[in-house]
Amino acid sequence: MKDLYEDLPARSRTAVTYALLGCAFLGMLDGTVIGTALPRIVEQVGGTDSWYVWLITAYLLTSSVSVPIYGRFSDLYGRRRLLLSGVAIFLIGSLACGAAGSMEFLIVSRAFQGLGAGALLTLGMALIRDLHPPSRAEGMIRMQTLMAAMMIAGMVGGPLLGGLLTDHASWRWAFLINLPIGAVAAAVIAVALPQRRDPDAAPGRLDVAGIALLATGLSLVLIGLSLKGNTGRGWWDPAVLGTLLAGLALLAALVPVERRAATPVLPPHLLRRRTYAALLAGGFFFQLAALPVGVFLPLYLQHARGQSATASGLLLLPLLAGMVAGNRLTAVLIRRSGHTKPPLLAGAGLITAGTVAFVTLGPDTPLFMTGAFLLVIGLGTGPGMGGITIASQNAVPRADMGAATAGSALTKQLGGSFGLACAQSLVAGHGARITAAGVGSTVAWIGGVAGLLALASILLMRDVTVARPAAADRTPAARS
């Protein structure tokens, strides 16, 4: 596989890489930064508790729905201009959020901001893969470690940063802080990264029908999951069930439309690849298993153990350390062996064992024991973060790599949303109060079942091989 940027100087390659990581970090950060600022926002601009849901959901919807569209268009027309357009949309949306004087305007601005955010993480990751292909093995390992650290910093640092800015400056700075960071990153990309497009990609007629069906169907599914997870409604509630069924019906109608499209936004031939389809399912179940742990364990520590918010965050450090270590170990093992399947199988096994262990959780469980469980889960989550991405990008032709990366990111997002909705239903079944038994059984059941399904999905894939350092001049192969 030819390196599209083999003529790019090392200094420019490094500068652009950090700019891309900065873009991806902003996209991740703004999904979480608003949580701790919500009470102050509602207090100052008005609204009720119901607005909480839409301030988060508006961003989730547009950022998730735009992911596959950006991914496919980047394969056909190149990634640089699309990413810069996404950064511009994101920054305009951030400025509008920071200047909002009403809740309605803030929600619309959040939705607009999300349209740009869909490009930041997806195209940032795809361009990093272009700049650091498997033939650059050391670069691949460094990038996997940096991306894991960036994702964790975005997930964990978002609420902390939002709280600090809200308490010591203004909640508006949770959005305005994006402007200098995004502007610098965009400037570096615009100056140092040339526009390149895979020569095998053949742009065609715009797939308007496919885009409309995909965007509407995904929006309805995500709205249904948000209603279930954030409002306490049951699965059989007409609003939840009706929205989910309508969304699934539109996504089903997308299949024949994409088969007939000259340039489909969601290429059917990718889903016909057994390995890629298995990786999508694996990513979905990995995220489904992992997300409830990070969301509900802090609630257990605060409500059932009386820990402070700061202490509960610090007690999650074993999970975060495991994620970073697991992600790096995955990249190292893939580089040395050239095989992606064994680390993914190990990750699925670890996340299953770690989550099932929480069935023993009680109000007096030693904290070192919960830390050990979290470390195991983190080590298992690492392959699901980086290994799934490496395998997905190498399981398809380079002309479809943007769409493949977007599909992987989207299914993980859907897995997390579904896992959160299921977890909230199970926890609520144990009563209004957060209890050790409620959190422990929820994490164990969801993580155990999803972990086993992730294991089954990885078993169904054929191994995706990546060029080892001794054979860096050979084209990476994927037996799909």
Clarify whether residues 179 and 229 are in a common domain.
no
Judge if 256 and 351 occupy the same domain. Answer: no
CA distance linking residue 67 with residue 265, whole number of Å: 11
d(CA 57, CA 221): 12
End residue of a domain, out of 204, 225, 245? 204
143, 162: one domain: yes
Of residues 464, 144, 451, the one with CA closest to residue 273 = 464
Domain identity same for 189 and 221: no
Could you tell me if 258 and 281 lie in one domain? no
| Interior/surface letters 140-173, b for 16+ CB within 10 angstroms, e for the rest | bbebbbbbbbbbbbbbbbbbbbbbebbeeeebbb
Distance CA 333, CA 468 (A): 10
Rounded CA-CA distance 25/342 in Å is 29
Helices (H), 78-205: 80-99, 103-131, 137-168, 173-176, 178-192
How many domains, in total, are found in the chain? 3
**1 and 107 share one domain:** yes
Contact 392, 340 (CB under 8 A): no
For residues 301 and 258, state if they share a domain: no
Residue where a domain terminates, one of 216, 243, 262: 262
Q: Does 249 share its domain with 286?
A: no
Both 461 and 315 in one domain: the answer is: yes
CATH of the domain at 456: 1.20.1250.20
State the Rg of the chain over Cα. Answer: 21
Last residue of a domain, one of 204, 234, 250: 204
Task: Give the separation between CA 251 and CA 47, rounded to whole angstroms.
Answer: 33
Tell me the residue range of the domain where 389 lies.
268-480
Q: Is the same domain home to 272 and 258?
A: no
Gap between the Cα atoms of 27 and 179, Å rounded? 13
In order along its 480 residues, the chain shows pLDDT tens digits of: 456 677 788 888 889 988 998 888 888 778 767 765 666 777 777 765 556 667 777 887 888 888 888 888 887 788 889 999 999 999 999 999 999 888 889 989 999 998 999 898 788 878 887 787 766 655 555 666 666 667 666 666 666 676 677 667 788 888 898 999 999 999 999 999 887 766 665 566 667 788 888 888 888 888 888 777 666 677 888 888 899 999 999 989 988 888 888 777 778 888 888 999 999 999 999 988 988 887 778 778 877 888 776 677 678 788 888 888 888 888 888 878 888 899 999 999 999 999 999 999 888 889 899 999 999 999 998 888 778 888 887 888 877 777 787 788 888 878 887 887 788 778 777 766 778 888 899 999 999 999 999 999 999 999 888 766 544 444 444 444
The reply to whether 157 and 239 lie within a common domain is: no
**Calculated CA dihedral for residues 324, 322, 380, 327, nearest 10 degrees:** 10
Question: Is residue 358 domain-shared with residue 465, that is, in the same domain?
Answer: yes
